[in-house]
Amino acid sequence: MRCTHCDYLLFNLLGRTCPECGRLFSVTQYHFEPGDVSFDCPHCAQAYYGNTAQGLPHPPAFRCVTCGMGVTLEDLIVRPRSSQAEGRLHGRSPWDRRNQLGTMKAWWETVKMLLGRPGQFFTEHAGKSNMEAWLFASIVSWVIAIPNALLQAGFQYFLGVPFGIAEVMGMIALGFASALWIPVGAAFMACLIRIGLIGVHSNRTFGDVYRIVLYSTPPALFSIIPVIGGFASIWQVVIEIIGVSKMYGISGGRAAAAVLLPSVILVILVVIAVFIILI
């Protein structure tokens, strides 16, 4: 639970004013995991625990069972009860908070969340803005553009292919420009997944699938590592499957079929077409 203005950790406080910047806050802005925090009576320290989906005590105003004083949700002292107790902003991802965190920090926090807890991201945070998702995916490709170009240059040097600084700059430029293809490539992949979802009843839209594809890009960051990088695209597909499963509320198996089958069928069709043309 951090201040939305200055990022100060807001645990163990009496009252709802940030000690760092003086701004008011409310516990209702946050979401707590079960058992992560307790809400203690300010008069007698009797601990209460969250019992709503958002992890807050209900009802919001009551009489303390120990000291009998009337307390409200905002009187209670929020104390962390586990080392990972965080309490994140309710319904907002790090990416949504980039004005406050700074774009690169918000991007990095979102990357970590998608790599570590993709299910949570897609359950709560996938958002509604295609432009935001596109910007996120573009930064992924921009971040790897320079190391990627240098790696390729090194590889060419190793092979004895002559190259100069102009070629390296060209590769970097190409790496940056490749972000322009992201909206097209993601839309194509989203079309295939959408076909795979035929028969699944949901009020989700094409845009939701499109954003799943765009937010599944972080494993590409590993594509610059030789050998291990080859698994990056598999990891990407796994995140897509988790995203589809969470956002459509379907099993992992059904989601895997939706993500993989149309692509596999397309590849088979292309192979058959090439085969026919060549014969």
The structure tokens 């909206």 sit at 183
Shortest distance (Å) from residue 90 CB to Zn ion = 17
What is the distance between the alpha carbons of residues 157 and 226, in angstroms, rounded to a whole number? 16
| Smallest distance from Zn ion to CB 180, Å | 39
Q: How far is the CB of 65 from Zn ion (least distance, A)?
A: 8
23 or 112: CB nearest Zn ion: 23
Q: How far is the CB of 4 from Zn ion (least distance, A)?
A: 8
Q: Which is nearer to Zn ion, 21 or 264 (CB)?
A: 21
From CA 151, how far away is CA 172, in angstroms rounded? 11
Which of residues 41 and 239 has its CB atom nearest to Zn ion in the complex? 41
Q: Cβ-count burial of 201 within 10 angstroms (0-12 exposed, 13-18 middle, 19+ buried)?
A: exposed
Cα separation, 223 vs 242, whole angstroms: 20
Nearest distance from residue 63's CB to Zn ion, in Å? Answer: 9
Q: How far is the CB of 47 from Zn ion (least distance, A)?
A: 10
Q: Report CA Rg, the chain.
A: 24
- What is the footprint of Zn ion within residues 65-124 (CB under 5 A)? 66-67
What residues contact residue 167 under an 8 Å CB cut-off, 6+ apart? Answer: 153, 156
**Cβ-based nearer residue to Zn ion, 5 or 128:** 5
27 or 186, CB closer to Zn ion? Answer: 27
Q: What is the DSSP letter of 28?
A: G
Q: Which two tokens stand for residue 277?
A: 């043309």
Nearer to Zn ion, 8 or 206 (CB): 8
Restricted to residues 9-68, the positions that interact with Zn ion (CB under 5 A) are 18, 20-21, 41, 43-44, 46, 64, 66-67
Dist CA 228 CA 208 (whole Å): 30
Q: Which of these, 41, 81, 49, lies nearest to 65 by C-alpha position?
A: 41
The residue (of 75 and 240) whose beta carbon lies closer to Zn ion is 75
Binding status of residue 5 toward Zn ion by CB under 5 A: yes
Which of left, alpha, beta for 93 (phi over 0: left; psi -120 to 50: alpha)? beta
The edge-to-edge listing of strands for the beta sheet with 77-80 is 47-48, 37-40, 77-80
**Nearest distance from C-beta of residue 102 to Zn ion, angstroms:** 16
Whether the CB-CB separation of 33 and 55 falls below 8 Å is answered with yes
The token pair that represents 255 in the structure block: 């989601």
- Binding part of the chain for Zn ion, among 7-15, 82-90, 159-167, 212-220 by CB under 5 A, reads 7-15
Q: Which stretch binds Zn ion (CB under 5 A): 5-13, 49-57, 134-142, 266-274?
A: 5-13
Q: Which of 6, 14, 177, 269 binds Zn ion (CB under 5 A)?
A: 6
Mask: binding to Zn ion, 117-156, rule CB under 5 A, as x and -? ----------------------------------------
The three state secondary structure string of 174-186 is: HHHHHHHHHHHHH
User: Cβ closer to Zn ion: 77 or 237?
Assistant: 77
Note the residues at the interface with Zn ion (CB under 5 A): 3, 5-6, 8, 18, 20-21, 41, 43-44, 46, 64, 66-67
